[in-house]
Structure 1
Amino acid sequence: MSNLYSTKVTAVGGRNGTVKSEDGILDLSLALPKELGGKGGATNPEQLFAAGYAACFENAVIHVTRGRSDKVRDDDIEVVGEVGMAANGDGGFKLAVTLDIAITGLDQATAEEIVQAAHAVCPYSNAVRGNVEVALNVTTR
């Protein structure tokens, strides 16, 4: 398979370390959240995943409407990503995702249809499907 895009990010020090992309644009300190017993004060993998999924999903919505008369433009949509972590019962952990998608200029039924189509093409959705519970909440403005 040929990639359309590829990037590399190096993590050092785990949840209390750093992450840096090969081009240096992403260069962040990480900290274990206070809610998990850490000091907080820096980003964490769940925030980074929520940000990436929200941005990618928003673009998937825009993508699926490109050939439609009811196009969604960049300023017509807002996606809030929430990532939760819980024990999985086997000594490990699992994630759950909620995406709150607000779209301007569409009726509710059309917005829901577009969001379902976006969920089918979004690379994040495809990566977690069957492994991470994803809730999609769609509203119109």
Structure 2
Amino acid sequence: MYPTQACLRPFIRHVMAGAAGRYVRAPNLQHRRGLITLKDHIFFSKATAEGAGRNGKVKSFGDAPLELKLAMPKAAGGKGDGQNPEQLFAMGYSGCFLGALQLAAARAGKKELAENAKVHATVFLGHPKDPDMEGFGLRVEIGVEGCDDDAIIAAAHEFCPYSRALTRGVEVDVKKV
């Protein structure tokens, strides 16, 4: 099992298409599952977490630094007086997928189909079904509103780095610094 599978337990079940709420199966990429490795990089982002873990703080660096207080959600027994990693993940995924959707539409010569689209990402935190696995896992649902072209949605899912990381795996190096 790859590290990202063991740590994140991603399950992208459906891609919601259009305002009517039709569901389209996400492409089955399991037969190609492996790790995506990079030959180079054009950008990197760095963030640091410190303090009391999920009740500490996170800070990003770069062009527009951001610092946030973290807090366990009330539903998980916390105070809920700050952001949580799942919110941040959902925000990043929805923004990235929207960009991929608009790019896929433009490449298909149908730019207007995604100009006013919205992408909703829902990230579920829960216990894995596997009784031998401790800790938590994630499940993600992506809802696409305002674009009902299934081929464009599938192309966006194939192109989006978040989708690729969750469906194909991503190289993760954990080391002491």
TM-score greater than 0.5 by the shorter chain: yes
> 1:74 Cα deviation (Å)?
6.6
Write the deviation string for residues 17-65 of structure 1: whole angstroms up to 9, x where unpaired: 1111123621111001111111111110000000000000000001112
The AA in structure 1 aligned to 2:54 is R
Which residue of structure 2 lines up, in the alignment, with residue 122 of structure 1? 160
Q: Is the 8 A contact 1:61 1:72 kept in 2?
A: no
User: Aligned partners of 2:164, 2:144: CA distance in 1, in Å?
Assistant: 18
Q: Is the 8 A contact 2:113 2:146 kept in 1?
A: no
Which residue of structure 1 lines up, in the alignment, with residue 119 of structure 2? 79
Give the alignment of 1:5-20 within 5 angstroms: 5-13=43-51, 14-20=53-59
User: Aligned partners of 2:93, 2:66: CA distance in 1, in Å?
Assistant: 16
> 1:130 Cα deviation (Å)?
5.6
Gaps of 5+ in 1: 132-141
> Is residue 100 from structure 1 mapped to residue 140 from structure 2 by the alignment?
no
Which residue of structure 1 lines up, in the alignment, with residue 104 of structure 2? 64
- Between Structure 1 and Structure 2, how many residues are aligned? 126
Gaps of 5+ in 2: 1-38, 170-177
User: Aligned partners of 1:44, 1:72: CA distance in 2, in Å?
Assistant: 34
Which residue of structure 1 lines up, in the alignment, with residue 85 of structure 2? 45
Identity of aligned residues (%): 39
Q: Is the 8 A contact 2:47 2:59 kept in 1?
A: yes
Q: What TM-score comes out, normalization by structure 1 length?
A: 0.82
> More relative contact order in 1 or in 2 (CA 8 Å, sep 6+)?
2
User: Aligned partners of 1:73, 1:11: CA distance in 2, in Å?
Assistant: 39
Q: What TM-score comes out, normalization by structure 2 length?
A: 0.66
3-state DSSP of counterpart to 2:122: strand
Aligned alpha-carbon RMSD (Å): 1.8
Which residue of structure 2 lines up, in the alignment, with residue 134 of structure 1? none
